[in-house]
Structure 1
Amino acid sequence: MLNFKYYSPTSIIFGKESTAGLGAQLSPEIKTVMFHYGGGSIKQSGLYVQVFSILKEKGVKVIELGGVEPNPKLSLVKEGITLCRENQVDLILAVGGGSVIDSAKAISVGVKYDGEVWDFFMGKAQPQSCVPLGVILTLPATGSETSPNTVVTNEEGLLKRGMKSDLIRPVFAILSPELTLTLPEHQTFAGVMDILSHVFERYFTTTGHVDVTDYMCEGVMKATIENAYKLRQNPDDYDARAEIMLAGTIAHNGILGVGRLEDWASHRIAHEITALYGTTHGVTLAVIFPAWMKYVSEEQPEKFVQFAKRVFDVSEADFRSTAEIANEGIRRFEAFLTEMGLPKSFKEAGLPSDQLDLMTEKASIFGALGGYRKLEVSDIKAIYELAL
């Protein structure tokens, strides 16, 4: 196990009718709030009116900025930065899923920075301060409600890039599973894949003596998969929605990665698909992860054997080699994706295959990817080809 420092300051308010607790999270020092959200879903559900009523009751000035799209855009982030500066915003309240939260995080660090906020995403600068951020989560997937991460797309060059800083961990996160009961099926299960992907990026490691976090990762994976099947049978199952929502938070708040080398190659590879074609993040991860698993497990099957046995209950007695056990685990994961209605390839996702060289070039712009196995340019291209 590696040495580590862990920090997670977000106050989590979880459960039925937890949105009503928003007012209690607003200190008297907060005079102006920027209410940041996406499209019309929160207005249709009544959440918009509920939030606005609570803010009005608290006597705070509200600055609105809606219009966040999936895979949030840099142009809207810049608009938010300007609004916050002009109105001396004390708190940004992000109401929505990961895209809204990521957009709000980028705004929060950009307000206090004299240069271009994109500098943070290109590794040219590190944030030193930010506007505090609060969250009401409506879609469990990215884990952005407690994570130190944000991902934004720059329309110029179609570059999807991320940044990481503990400064952008929200001050509070309100998680009400009942808000997810009206989610469309494709968002629910793309979110499930997103959650699993965050565990995968930490679980598949070459670091030894990490039994505690291995079992934690496996527990989150098994619980997510089991409750995804329950939601497939009954989308109105509140308890299953609650389990998925909690899993999404735990998967990406950093606790599962302490003391171990993480990977993150698959996310970088998948980002280039999303940047070019605007595909849902969870969908691109469903396309890339099986290909990544097959590619890297050929040389390093050990962790995949453990994955097969502990997560998908593969019996060692039924197979002759470690490679066969590893492959059976990957096959069962692919079967799960199919049962959740998720694509496992470019073809199933309806994606073109004529931009592999461009995606490979963009994915490798900062050098080799990955921690489980270092992926050079030729490896990245091979994974895209396996995913076709």
Structure 2
Amino acid sequence: MNNFVFENSTKVYFGKGCVAENLPALTAAARTILLAYGGGSIKKNGVYDEITAILRSTGKQVVEFDRIMPNPTYEKVLEGAALVRENQADLILAVGGGSVMDCCKAVSLAAAYDGDVWRDFWAKPGIIDFQTVPLGVVVTVSGTGSECNGGAVITNQKVKVKTGRDYPALNARFALLDPAYTLSVPRTQILSGGFDTLSHIMEIYFSPPDTENVSDDLAEALMRGVIRDLRAAARDPRDYAARSNLMWEATMAENRVLKLGKQTDFQAHMMEHQLGAYTDCNHGLGLAVLHPAYYRHICEKGTVKFARFAARVWGIDPVGRSEAELARAGVEALADFIRELGLPATLRELGVRSETPLKEIADSVPLTPGGYGKLTHAEVLNIFKACY
């Protein structure tokens, strides 16, 4: 294991009924709460009514911050920050999935900062040496794992950049995870979120060190679990056991535990982020399109790990195969799984057209050094073309 420092300050409450049981005490010290959510699905499934009833029964002033979009924009962050300041909110409660949580982390920072938040904290890494507005989250859509880290991915539409930073100071104070809240999520969104979870684990796993280590052991077990539970949820979206497993697997994938001692890759995420900045495509579906093509491209440089992936995650018999053949078989098993779930396999299925400026997008992709060989922008463009 390489050296590391581990930090995670979020307290998690998991299971049926955890919101009603714990939210009153967790919000006891707050007077004015910014209640943040997305397009309004929580008003259809009863979550909104339950949470607002709890808050109002305890005398809270509730200020609503709604219509947070799937790829939250910097403009939306500034809108939320203005609401916090105008109403002197002393707690932000994010109710939703990764986009809502990410937006609210950025709001908690922007509301407490007088400068240009994008320039100082997203365009480049910054130092948070001041108190941000406290944040709590109620997860209704699992997949991103945003509930248990300080990461937030924000899109600046003016400069066409979608980027994320992870600041421990932005970790939610508490996270309430009731798997029953996710049961009304549409099937496509279940699969998209679940694949995002699998992608997070793979992005950590496919990076040095390649010697046996605890982080990779945990990653292999979690990948097998996500594959099992996605298959179960695809067969029966109301399968509570599968949905509860997927919820916790998403949290485990991004609570920083798997990253300990790892370089990490996240090149596929960088490619998808810029596709999203230009096309607003679904994040998890974009990753499903990109991963097989990207892994075919780098497989030979990471043969040892890809062979291990094939044998330990997909159960492919290594007998009679060279290490290189086994590695390639692992990548194709992933591609077969994507097709099995009915996820898209081409950029065209995501709405990318011949007039989409793929070269411009490729040239805007940040190139990460952590995986098996740093790409060039020309290679990124070739991967996009292979996916088209």
Question: Separation in 2 of the partners of 1:350 and 1:330?
Answer: 25
The residue aligned with 1:272 is 274
Structure 1 residue 39 displacement after superposition = 1.2
Question: Separation in 2 of the partners of 1:350 and 1:83?
Answer: 34
Classify the secondary structure of the residue corresponding to 1:379.
helix
1:1-388 alignment, distance < 5 Å: 1-119=1-119, 120-123=121-124, 125-128=126-129, 129-319=131-321, 321-353=322-354, 354-364=356-366, 369-388=369-388
Classify the secondary structure of the residue corresponding to 1:285.
helix
Change (3 A) 1:124 1:310: closer
Deviations 1:253-281 (A, max 9, x none): 11011011111111101111111111110
Change (3 A) 1:368 1:260: closer
TM-score by structure 2 length? 0.96
User: When the two structures are aligned, how many residues end up with a matched partner?
Assistant: 385
Contact 2:265 2:368 in 1 (8 A): no
Change (3 A) 1:310 1:368: closer
Structure 1 residue 27 displacement after superposition = 4.8
Classify the secondary structure of the residue corresponding to 1:317.
coil
Question: Separation in 2 of the partners of 1:115 and 1:210?
Answer: 45
Which stretch shifts more, 25-34 or 38-47?
25-34
Structure 1 residue 344 displacement after superposition = 2.0
Structure 1 residue 24 displacement after superposition = 3.9
Question: Separation in 1 of the partners of 2:17 and 2:357?
Answer: 46
The amino acid across from 2:35 in the alignment is F
Classify the secondary structure of the residue corresponding to 1:170.
coil
Contact 1:2 1:260 in 2 (8 A): yes
Question: Separation in 1 of the partners of 2:125 and 2:228?
Answer: 42
Question: Separation in 1 of the partners of 2:349 and 2:29?
Answer: 52
Classify the secondary structure of the residue corresponding to 2:302.
coil
CA-atom RMSD in angstroms: 1.5
Contact 1:221 1:311 in 2 (8 A): yes
Contact 1:210 1:259 in 2 (8 A): no
Segments of 5+ residues of structure 1 without an aligned counterpart are none
Question: Separation in 2 of the partners of 1:39 and 1:379?
Answer: 37
Deviations 1:45-102 (A, max 9, x none): 1111111111112212111110101011111110111111122211100000000000
Question: Separation in 2 of the partners of 1:25 and 1:7?
Answer: 24
Question: Separation in 2 of the partners of 1:382 and 1:368?
Answer: 17
Question: Separation in 1 of the partners of 2:344 and 2:136?
Answer: 34
Task: State the identity %.
Answer: 37
Question: Separation in 2 of the partners of 1:114 and 1:334?
Answer: 47
Change (3 A) 1:383 1:370: farther
Classify the secondary structure of the residue corresponding to 1:113.
coil
Question: Separation in 2 of the partners of 1:254 and 1:210?
Answer: 19
Contact 1:262 1:372 in 2 (8 A): no
Contact 2:24 2:55 in 1 (8 A): no
Question: Separation in 1 of the partners of 2:233 and 2:368?
Answer: 38
Structure 1 residue 360 displacement after superposition = 1.2
Structure 1 residue 370 displacement after superposition = 4.0
